[in-house]
Amino acid sequence: MSYSNFKDPVGLLKRMLLSGNKTAYSILFREFFTKLVIPVDLLLRNSEKRKLKNSKDSSLPIILVLGGSRSGTTLLYQTLERYLPVSYISNFIASFVNSPISAYKLFRRLIPKSVKGYQSYFGSVQGFGGPNDAFFLWNRWLGEDRNHAPEEISEESKMEMRTFFNTWLKTTKKPFLNKNNRNSLCAPMFDKIFPNIFFVEIYRDPVFVAQSIILSRRTVQGSDKIAWGLLSKDSENNIDPLAYIDDICRQVFEVNQIIALNRAKIDSKKYFRVSYEDFCENPGEIIKLVGIQALDRTIDDTTLAGLKFSKASNGQRLTDEEFNRIKNCLKDLQNKNGLA
């Protein structure tokens, strides 16, 4: 977690401490651990450089989970990590910002498995073995802004990106899996950079996405009016007390539009799409599909038996006035863009 991305980091720290949420406490402990291992990370930096310098091409696939903020990407990421034979940036490895490959090679036998539960705290999961968004890594090439991404990067950055992932794949000897919502904004670029890449998009009813972003603003930023999530902007002071809801609806709509445009640019054989609702009802289907199409592996049905997730979050959690404002605003946006 980079506190520079939050307008009120002290308030966020207080809210996390008072939340009673074990995942929130786990995140805070990881922040302390990251500071603690800085000397080790720096010592491993030269080893990392040597590994990258000796990089060779790998044919192993890369799988990226796509979707807008609060659309179910974290749950999908956790599930695919648990049932597919893949490597990923764990919370432990994410503490070694300068030397993730060297840290993996040195400590891989000590890294615990991800926890059995599927709890998360606004995109972050519990435990050192849990899958991490790896912002520290993607920021090397895409910049520090968590909510916006360039459509193109320099040829040098593309080469560095290929070098890193080829080295990671050669070191782990497993396909790579990652979820980072920002990558949804530039998927076609990744498609051109990596010859063996696959995308798994999860989408959710935009009404409930907007509702969830409102609740996230209140918890993470401490205010309805402070931006949070992909393509978000701070809401200006307005005599209309619910004007911020319109801003969030436009944010959700724009993200969905960009993802749809990007999806059309990518070979459908490399792109899987599932609704949040269908995934919760039958997660095994997308697990098996990705296993066969991306990894050429058949996932044992017996391991997936009974796997199912609650859709309880797809219910009204705001006042009638707030919830109706979301529905009406999204309907207006669809009508204006000929999508009704």
pLDDT averaged per 10 residues, the chain (length 340) = 56 78 85 94 96 93 97 96 96 97 95 81 85 96 93 94 97 97 96 96 97 93 91 90 96 97 97 96 95 94 88 90 97 85
- pLDDT value of residue 238: 83
For residue 1, the model assigns a pLDDT of 45
Distance (Å, whole) CA 161 – CA 71? 27
339 DSSP assignment: -
- 168-198: pLDDT as tens digits: 999 999 999 999 999 999 999 999 999 999 9
Determine if the pTM surpasses 0.75.
Answer: yes
pLDDT digits (tens, 9 = 90+) for 72-93: 999 999 999 999 999 999 999 9
Q: What is the pLDDT of residue 205?
A: 96
pLDDT at residue number 7: 64
Residues 6 or more apart in contact with residue 204 via CB below 8 angstroms: 67, 68, 70, 71, 72, 275, 276, 277, 314
The residue among 2, 5, 12 whose CA lies nearest residue 218 is 12
**Coil, strand, or helix at residue 125?**
strand
